[in-house]
Structure 1
């Protein structure tokens, strides 16, 4: 019912929509992270899609829009531990080109860390 500006996300309906969207991204990650670890290996769908969802959540949260939901930092940190454990255990079997393993792991760490930091700021 309320509108507080002329932007695309400056109203209650937009905030509701954004909440549903971010909740979906979070639910997908939560489901993938609680399932079979094989599903989050680097060459599997959720091994690619989980970091994508986290990056999207970070980008959305940076905007400061009402309705953007984030998991608790502790949840994100737990996801990071689980995801990187699976990644570390399976990446060598894919025989990555020299340098890729280190570069990709740094990106993955940053992806989890930036979302966790954003969640801390949001909850402060």
Structure 2
């Protein structure tokens, strides 16, 4: 086992742990995107948690720790198109206020774009 510092994430074991955590987040998003689009609707579990997973990936990436690997920008942009297509098709059925709808759309777009940019910067 290699250790390169005193920090909690400064060892091979910590890097392996982060890689497993990152892989789990990416796998969940990948499976949600490939699954039934109904599960991506804004009031469904994956419609809420996919953006959470993306934000967690961004947070981990920003730390610069060894073991965090993001999917390619192309994969992230495909996820973005898939997710937003479902969101746009279904959000009005939930009766959101126009201001919420615009704000939420902006947050979703920004989340996917920040992750794609982080991925591109890491390559």
* TM-score in terms of structure 1 length: 0.98
**Could you say which residue in structure 1 is the equivalent of 2:103?**
103
Q: CA deviation at 1:97?
A: 1.7
Measured against aligned partners, the alpha-carbon deviations of 1:16-38 in whole angstroms (never above 9, x if no partner) come to 00000000000000000000100
Query: Does residue 1:20 correspond to 2:28, yes or no?
Result: no
Q: CA deviation at 1:66?
A: 0.3
Q: Identify the range of structure 1 (20-29 vs 90-99) with the bigger mean alpha-carbon deviation.
A: 90-99
Q: CA deviation at 1:98?
A: 2.9
Q: Which consecutive residues of structure 1, in runs of 5 or more, have no partner in the other structure?
A: none
Q: Which runs of 4+ in 1 moved over 3 A?
A: none
Q: CA deviation at 1:122?
A: 0.7
Report the RMSD for the aligned CA atoms in angstroms.
0.5
Superposed, 1:55-66 pairs within 5 Å as 55-66=55-66
**Could you say which residue in structure 2 is the equivalent of 1:29?**
29
**Could you say which residue in structure 1 is the equivalent of 2:120?**
120
Aligned partner of residue 65 in structure 2, secondary structure: coil
